């Protein structure tokens, strides 16, 4: 579900103190629990949303909802929806990002290493997960420096995220999706991947592959572009980072216990 779609849906909500607030009446006859009220409220506003998680929020009286790559906060009575970042004023930290990181860590852990394309030193000190597209310029620049990342002790585990999507408007597989399928189906994935990053299309092959599943996972985790780099704790480190910037980022997370 596109970010534009969500913005269109929440545009009907009133702005109050910089936070999107929605008045949403919920029928008492069908609302048995706060969780069901919250789910009904969200689906009333965004009927096509795929709800991934509903948990009590740090904000009293509210629930934290992850759905279709977005996070919102909904009151237990279904009267209010807040679409924004929740900050812990005492620490100056983002509770929203902390929640996202925990969710991403759990979901990424479900992807077996055998479904990833991994470039790692003999004894990695750190590991990052990178959603990548073989055609995006900064993805190519990042991979050109893969040896430097490995020399810094960083293992890079790639997941497929064709920016053009799995299918186009005509309903047919996109060229980027087909190219990434060919890479994941190649006899030597790493070589086919590296060659594709240099602009050389792989031999067209097909097999049972995880490309669509990884693309869908990226959508669920809020990926909107490539490269999207995540630390081991699920925190978003950013897009393209130089080897030195990446090392600093992973070291900072390790120091914080991430």
Name, in order, each residue with C-beta under 8 angstroms of 197's C-beta and a sequence gap of 6 or more: 134, 139, 140, 143, 144
Question: What's the pLDDT at 257?
Answer: 65
Per-residue model confidence (pLDDT) at position 252: 87
CATH of 113-255, one of 3.40.50.1700, 3.40.630.30, 3.40.50.11540, 3.40.30.10: 3.40.30.10
Domain 3-95 has CATH 3.20.19.10: no
Dump pLDDT digits (tens) for 62-114: 999 999 999 999 999 999 999 989 999 998 889 999 999 999 999 999 999 99
| Predicted pLDDT at 10 | 47
| Domains of the chain by residue range | 3-95, 113-255
Q: Tell me the pLDDT of the chain (258 aa) as tens digits.
A: 444 435 445 443 333 333 344 444 444 444 479 999 999 999 999 999 999 999 999 999 999 999 999 999 999 999 999 998 999 999 888 999 999 999 999 999 999 999 999 999 999 999 999 999 999 999 999 999 999 999 999 999 999 999 999 999 999 999 999 999 999 999 999 999 999 999 998 999 999 999 999 999 999 999 999 999 999 999 999 999 999 999 999 998 887 765
In whole angstroms, give the CA distance from residue 219 to residue 63.
Answer: 22
**What are the distances in angstroms from CA 111 to CA 16, 70, 106, 119, 194?**
40, 21, 10, 16, 21
Give the separation between CA 56 and CA 227, rounded to whole angstroms. Answer: 32
How far from the centroid of its chain's Cα atoms is residue 69's Cα? 7
């Amino acid at each position: 579900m596109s970010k534009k779609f969500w913005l269109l849906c929440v545009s009907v909500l009133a702005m109050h103190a910089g936070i999107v607030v929605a008045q949403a009446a919920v029928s008492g006859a069908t609302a048995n629990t706060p969780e069901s009220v919250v789910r009904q409220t969200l689906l009333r506003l965004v009927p096509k949303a795929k709800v991934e998680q509903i948990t009590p929020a740090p904000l009293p009286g509210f629930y934290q909802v992850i759905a279709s790559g977005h996070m919102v906060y909904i009151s237990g009575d279904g009267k209010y929806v807040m679409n924004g970042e929740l900050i812990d004023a005492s620490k100056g930290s983002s509770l929203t990002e902390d929640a996202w990181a925990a969710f991403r860590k759990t979901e990424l852990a479900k992807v077996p290493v055998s479904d990833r394309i991994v470039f790692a030193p003999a004894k990695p000190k750190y590991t990052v997960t990178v959603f990548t597209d073989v055609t995006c310029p900064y993805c190519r620049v990042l991979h050109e420096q893969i040896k430097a990342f490995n020399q810094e002790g960083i293992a890079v585990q790639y997941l497929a995220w064709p920016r053009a999507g799995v299918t186009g408007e005509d309903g047919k597989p996109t060229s980027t999706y087909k190219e990434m399928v060919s890479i994941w189906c190649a006899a030597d994935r790493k070589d086919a991947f590296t060659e594709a990053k240099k602009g050389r299309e792989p031999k067209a092959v097909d097999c049972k592959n995880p490309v669509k599943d990884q693309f869908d996972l990226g959508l669920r985790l809020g990926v909107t572009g490539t490269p999207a780099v995540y630390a081991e704790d699920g925190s978003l480190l950013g897009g393209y980072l130089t080897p030195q910037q990446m090392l600093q980022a992973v070291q900072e997370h390790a120091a914080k216990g991430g």
